[in-house]
Amino acid sequence: MDHLDCIEAHSIYILREAFNKFNRLVMLWSLGKDSNVMLWLAKKAFFGHVPCPVLFCDTGKKFPEMYSFQKKYTREWDLDFIRRECPPIEEIDPALPPSVRSASRKTEALKRLIDELELQAVVVGIRRDEESTRAKERVFSPRGENAEWDFRDQPPEFWDHFRTELLPGTHIRIHPLLHWTELDVWLYIQRESIPLVPLYFARDGKRYRSLGDMDITKPVNSKADTVEKIITELLTTKVAERTGRMMDHETEDAFEMLRSVGYM
């Protein structure tokens, strides 16, 4: 087995463990490269079918290309698709920095759905290498009654023994891509020919490394207009993956603040 085979097998094991342990769970689909890889792995793990609902928290501010991608692949991948509109910005804490406040709309939409469906687990396509706060995560990560995450108190996961017990009102976040890197994701996309939103590929000297809402996401300078060129670029670039995410630049602890209250 090569490196991609090994990390693929580990992710499939995590997904099968999640579906074995929990009856009420969803997978979050942001329409980005990581969550597309996660859905692809789920299809592999369960013989071509994603066996649980797929949730899209819609802010109404995604790029048109993202909405087009969602419509096309919801149908082609035969997904049990749940779309939830995020609450208006007026319902979010006005004391938060502007971009953090905007991003918090997705957190609130997810919290409400967890309560509505009494979810036991939420499968999310985050990676440790993407942001320093996420490096503190566990594969099966407990969340409190208000979906809060205590990054100072994380359970051990020796030999892939995952914590699955639930206290009343709590749930587990499951991260099957936690051990992947950005380069791993692109190498796997290349090997598997996984479809992506075209905004990841350079046009007029710019492309998106990470996709979010139109008003809080910016492209980076790049000439990489194919998967192969993106892989080559990643081998030498010193630009951080989330450089284009405006909320990461507002305050030093902006991302940690978001994740502690339930952000993906």
Residue spans in the chain of domains classed CATH 3.40.50.620: 3-180+251-260
Predicted local confidence at residue 167, as pLDDT: 80
Mean pLDDT computed over every residue of the chain: 87
- Work out the average pLDDT over 173-178: 95
pLDDT digits (tens, 9 = 90+) for 160-170: 888 788 888 88
Residue 249 pLDDT > 50 = no
Q: Please, which pLDDT band fits residue 250 given cuts at 50, 70 and 90?
A: very low
Residue 107 pLDDT > 70 = yes
DSSP 3-state percent helix, strand, coil across the chain (nearest 5): 45, 10, 45
How far is it, in rounded angstroms, from Cα 202 to Cα 226?
8
Predicted local confidence at residue 224, as pLDDT: 97
How far is it, in rounded angstroms, from Cα 120 to Cα 179?
23
pLDDT digits (tens, 9 = 90+) for 52-95: 999 999 989 999 999 999 999 999 999 999 999 888 888 888 87
Predicted local confidence at residue 24, as pLDDT: 94
How far is it, in rounded angstroms, from Cα 203 to Cα 224?
9
Residue 100 pLDDT > 80 = no
Side by side, which strands form the sheet with 121-123?
A: 81-85, 54-58, 25-28, 121-123, 171-174, 140-143
Instruction: Give residue 261's region: left, alpha or beta (phi > 0; psi -120 to 50).
Output: alpha
Predicted local confidence at residue 131, as pLDDT: 74
Predicted local confidence at residue 252, as pLDDT: 46
User: Can you point out the beta strands (E) in 1-134?
Assistant: 25-28, 54-58, 81-85, 121-123
Predicted local confidence at residue 4, as pLDDT: 98
Predicted local confidence at residue 256, as pLDDT: 52
Amino acid 44 reads K
Q: What radius of gyration do the chain's Cα atoms show?
A: 18
pLDDT digits (tens, 9 = 90+) for 207-237: 999 898 898 889 999 999 999 999 999 999 8
Residue predicted with more confidence, 260 or 99: 99
Residues 3-180+251-260: name the CATH superfamily. HUPs (3.40.50.620)
Residue 39 pLDDT > 70 = yes
